[in-house]
Amino acid sequence: MTTELTQEGTARELATDRGVLRYHEAGDGPPLLLLHGSGPGVTGWRNYRGVLADFAEHYRCLVLEFPGFGVSDPCDGHPMAMAKFAVKDFLDGLGLSDVAIVGNSMGGIVATQFAIAEPERVNKLVTIGGAGRSVFAPSPGEGIRLLMEFTDDPTREKLVRWLRSMVFDPAIVTEELIEERWALATEPKTLEIARRMYSTEAFAAGARAAAASNDTPYWAQLGKIKIPTLLTWGRDDRVSPVDMAMLPMRELPRGELHVFPNCGHWTMIEAREAWLATVLAFLKRDDA
């Protein structure tokens, strides 16, 4: 990383009909949209601050903060559903019609759904875990179950247990990380919105609704994504186990998979250098 970027110096706002979307912007070049994951105290800045400067040397980086996670204006509906609206509102508001997208976990699912719905607006797609469907591993994964336990009854101990499930190396879960996550995760409005998604009751209701729905799930439409797609995964991911990549690898016409050893769910943090090299090579490659 050769350029010092700060949270305050990169912060931007975009007014939309559904509220103010906040984001971080850095760099020049082709637009690269970075979408964060879910979980207590998550933000786009925290997901990508360690790699933003590296991407900004080549791209106009836009790190969107999804509604419902304590940075952009709160949402009224389910955070996942509102995230899909937010991506469209954001790109429309900035006048962007053709972007590459990097999505972490939930952000990868949202990016995949957007690429299916509006294929002409996405030229390359990178996911970090999450996007797929369990084939062999139990579902939900260990990390999701710990997240549900925290959401039902938020304690510092449960937050730490969830954070440690996100990584291969527990040393990454520092006191500083714990404190910054705890502060936002327990903010009343953010916690209330999180319970719409990850409380035991909400999770069960979502599963029942999915079972009763006649809508085709996104993972059964992956063949519609014709653009080059790179799946990146931690071999030791306990949130979205790596066998979830099997279905996308079969269905994505131009899909590729890179698995990083000794790495959990936060591939861009725990395998930073290798992940950056892999993703930058993919994004810069001419696939025309």
pLDDT in tens, 267-278: 999 999 999 999
**H/E element holding 211?**
helix 200-212
CB 57, CB 3: distance < 8 Å = yes
Q: Write down the catalytic residue from 24, 36, 258, 265.
A: 265
128 φψ region: left (φ > 0), alpha (ψ -120 to 50), beta (else) = beta
CB 97, CB 91: distance < 8 Å = yes
CB count in 10 Å sphere of residue 89? 20
Across 75-79, 169-173, 283-287, which has the greatest mean pLDDT?
Answer: 169-173
Q: Based on the number of CB atoms within 10 Å of its own CB, is 206 exposed (0-12), middle (13-18) or buried (19 or more)? A: middle
pLDDT exceeds 90 at position 76 = no
> Tell me: the pLDDT tens digits for 221-274?
999 999 999 999 999 999 999 999 999 999 999 999 999 999 999 999 999 999
Q: How far is CA 64 from the centre of its chain?
A: 10
pLDDT confidence of residue 3 = 58
Active site residue 265: yes
pLDDT-based confidence at residue 1 (cuts at 50, 70, 90): very low
> Tell me: the pLDDT tens digits for 143-158?
999 999 999 999 999 9
Backbone angles phi, psi at 32, to 5 degrees: -130, 115
CB half-sphere exposure, 98, CA atoms < 13 A: 5
**Taking residues 123-147, what's their average pLDDT?**
93
Q: Which position has the token pair 């969830």? A: 162
**Taking residues 13-41, what's their average pLDDT?**
95
